Structure 1
């Protein structure tokens, strides 16, 4: 529109319209045309188009050509930034330093194996020259000599049994911390006169506690014959002055109080042990279960070293092994999901097949044990929160499931797993810890009925995963996951 206006203005400016051309226009139109004519004449007098053209030519001529900027050259005598000579790996004179020799990688074993052979029985919590320790060893030796008399086990009536259990109590003097770390195994000495508790710990320690000593701390002696958890602990049935201990570290040792040493009974550095039991009543032959599912038959009668026969079971893992109390050629092994009963006379180096398999479990098994007098029952502890009682009175056929006891066995990762064990005096009753509040230790009959619950009030405020009953007396010891032992006795 501005172009047309300018053109109109130029035309009006070049020649004057005749007067009669405005005769037909209104006063507004005539005034508008007059303003257009005046504006056009004014802009034409300024000559803006010619000035803009000249200005563009001048700018184009004066624009310098584009060129890359060259970096200034560094002067040779110019001093640069200071840098660390140590980082440049040169000495003060400027000579390059030699490359440092590679440092060997230091691998520290958290649980180094203890040396083979016998270990001196030196208490960690006592002075080596402590007279109390010498008296302690003498007491255990003398007491073991008087404990070799066999006591006939007779099954008491449930009514009488309950009455004896009700008389058992716990006091401040029967609770004490014996080892560092969780209790993983426990045994009670068969003495009729003194109360002696042996404790195996996850740290590899073995703690001995004589409850007849006062103050109670004077009766505790702690040793370290293993480098990994002590999962199995038994007093020798032939000589109660000896205590045999098995550890994950692949060693089985015998603590001899008369000589104050821990002898090495069996060692296998290529495998990790889980459990053991005595094949012979005189403790001359043993059966050892390995975590990888293999089994060792160990004969201690070989002079100098034990004879070993290694066989492979049908289980991928073995948690516990237990020998039949009457027919000692049979033993039961608890695996991941199944428990197998084997005959030692038919074991093979490869592909040993079980005589009977107990396959009723839905989750991992913690333990499996024959009843202590006749072996007519088997109790298993399973992670599916059930205790199972099997009828093992006839091993030539299937072992039927008799009873299922619903029991919370889920201890989690921080507590030692429960293991239900038979009372050695009462073979139709089992003992097991409990997760219930208030804390307790429970006894069940093989029919599944509750027999007795041990409450300790302020003296039993934790879960006792591992428990052991005296073979002849009414004494019960329970161990928790901090090394504390709780003893109920009448």
Structure 2
């Protein structure tokens, strides 16, 4: 019995052991079904390993079950190694956990964790089939991850994701909260509103602000309207709307000779007029004299000096013309200004202020001024305003000789020695012949097609039927006997000039020479002794004629006493007035030291005495005399 009993028990035991082996085999088969096979995924910097930790169900609590988290290197948190192309094939070892008690709940939990790992590996496999990755979990880092997961809200709903995905979502959430705290959207909205409110400037280039304090750039005292002594001049009101009416034409007819710088009933002015009326009666006419040789001429020039008593401001504005009275007893200088004034300065008076008288016979610049060769008590003035007037000291009036409101005048000269006929040049190239012997003003207007502009007109001193004109680039010589109303052709044309011409004059006694002043910094002297088809060029003198826009242009003129010498201003320092011989040699230079500190653009010499008068662009007259 005992043997049969033992045999039955042995059969039952073997049957139970066989059943346990079958069950164990089934369990192993179930686990094997959900185990991971070697997959090919992307390598994240380093190759981690996966460890499955055994656990016991005796101390198990549902809320304490923690999933392992992948441990990645700190430097490879945000970097993915895209250049590694090695393919590794490894077999995952499946470790069977040792459990003190096995239940269906534990099996389902283990199966779920295995499925999560399998799902994650499938996701990585879809991303890249050329690289391999093995998700690993470190036992030591799982505690830190578990603590983070416990404190992070809202991760229960992502329990089906891998630890790496949950960590990534946590970082995204934290970053979103951080940027939300910065309120970037509100700041951007405020900036947009500020940009919309701010309008772009109308002008592309901003004008620099003027400095109210501090030393600025150096400015001319003339532009600042300040006298050299430092006293400011009264401000002249400028109204843009009245630009056209700033220089209105004066009424036609005679104008009273009333000085602007003195009272009407000044006794001193009456004595001045009487003295000049007497001088004109007793003044001797110019008689022909032999020309002095060059040595005596230089000696006389060296004796001419300037001092404070022979320098004074006569007119307002730049001086455009200067004339010296031919009297040998008294010294009278006349100046025509840009403002239309005519100033007279009698240097015989002891006080400079008592001998200066300023008149306003014109409204625009006075470009030409001559004392009458027939009656020295008459002074004729021509202006840009289209008027030609004669100042009569004996009657104290400025009578109107010629008027043309449609055209502007540039220059004039006397055709007859008795000053009864005149020739007038226009800025537009026209020429007018004026006869003063008729009750009115009879003239004939001539148009020269070869000249578009006339700057100066000068009559031959001996053969008075000839006259010379200076245009833009050419100098023409005409014969009054062959003038026509239309298309008058010149006898001779001088075309050696390369730039604009300022003046052209015959020599004063014989007319055998012509001097021209050109903007190409050259003075040219021609031989006009035989007026034929050509006038040869004798001499070219290099001289700086670039006066600029603020200074009156130079005009080289002949010395009435010396047939072969010309007088011209200079831009050189120290300031001076120069005299050149027709051969080009410099004869003399007038220096004034402190009395001559400006450029004298317009100069003239006395016909018989050694007196030189020069005018600058501020209205001052400088007189050199012996």
What is the TM-score normalised by the length of structure 1? Answer: 0.82
Q: How does 1:28-427 map to 2 (within 5 A)?
A: 28-31=94-97, 36-39=110-113, 108-303=244-439, 305-313=440-448, 314-427=450-563
Structure number with bigger Rg: 2
- Of stretches 402-411 and 24-33 in structure 1, the one that deviates more from structure 2 is 24-33
SS in 1 for 2:405: coil
Q: Which residue of 1 aligns with 2:616?
A: 480
CA deviations over 1:71-111 (Å, ceiling 9, x no partner): xxxxxxxxxxxxxxxxxxxxxxxxxxxxxxxxxx8775121
The structural deviation recorded for 1:152 is 2.2
Residues in 2 aligned to 1:143 and 1:111: alpha-carbon distance in whole angstroms: 35
Q: Give the 3 Å change call, closer, same or farther, for CA 39–160 of structure 1 in structure 2.
A: same
Q: Counterpart of 1:97?
A: none
Contact 1:148 1:239 in 2 (8 A): no
CA-atom RMSD in angstroms:
2.6
Aligned residue pair count: 419
CA–CA separation in structure 1 for the residues paired with 2:402 and 2:112: 127
- How far the C-alpha of 1:444 sits from its partner, in A, is 0.2
Structure 2: distance between partners of 1:174 and 1:361? 37
> What is the TM-score normalised by the length of structure 2?
0.64
Task: Give yes or no for contact 2:31–2:111 (8 Å, CA) kept in 1.
Answer: no
Give the Cα–Cα distance (whole angstroms) in 1 for the partners of residues 357 and 331 of structure 2: 14
- Compared CA separation, residues 262 and 398, structure 1 to 2 (3 A): same
Say whether 1:21 aligns with 2:29: yes
Is 1:439 aligned with 2:575? yes
1:41 offset after TM fit, Å?
Answer: 11
CA contact (8 A) 1:151 1:472 kept: no
Is the 1:148–1:240 Cα contact (8 Å) retained in structure 2?
A: no
Higher relative contact order (CA 8 A, sep 6+): 1
Residues in 2 aligned to 1:37 and 1:343: alpha-carbon distance in whole angstroms: 131
Higher alpha-carbon deviation: 160-169 or 28-37? 28-37
More strand by share: 1
Report the CA distance between 1:151 and its aligned residue. 2.7
Give the secondary structure class of the aligned counterpart of 1:467: strand
CA distance in 2, matches of 1:36, 1:116: 126
For residues 38 and 142 of structure 1, the distance between their equivalents in structure 2, rounded to whole angstroms, comes to 141
Q: Write out per-residue CA displacement over residues 382-417 of structure 1, whole angstroms, 9 at most, x where no aligned residue.
A: 000000000000012300000000000100000000
Distance 1:23 1:146, change over 3 A: closer
For residues 558 and 115 of structure 2, the distance between their equivalents in structure 1, rounded to whole angstroms, comes to: 127
1:443-478 alpha-carbon deviations (Å, 9 max, x no partner): 000000000000000000000000010000000000
Alpha-carbon distance in 2 for matches of 1:145, 1:440: 36
Indicate if the aligned counterparts of 1:409 and 1:418 stay in contact, CA closer than 8 A. yes
Tell me the SS of whatever aligns to 1:127: coil
Whole-angstrom CA distance in 1 between matches of 2:372 and 2:243:
39
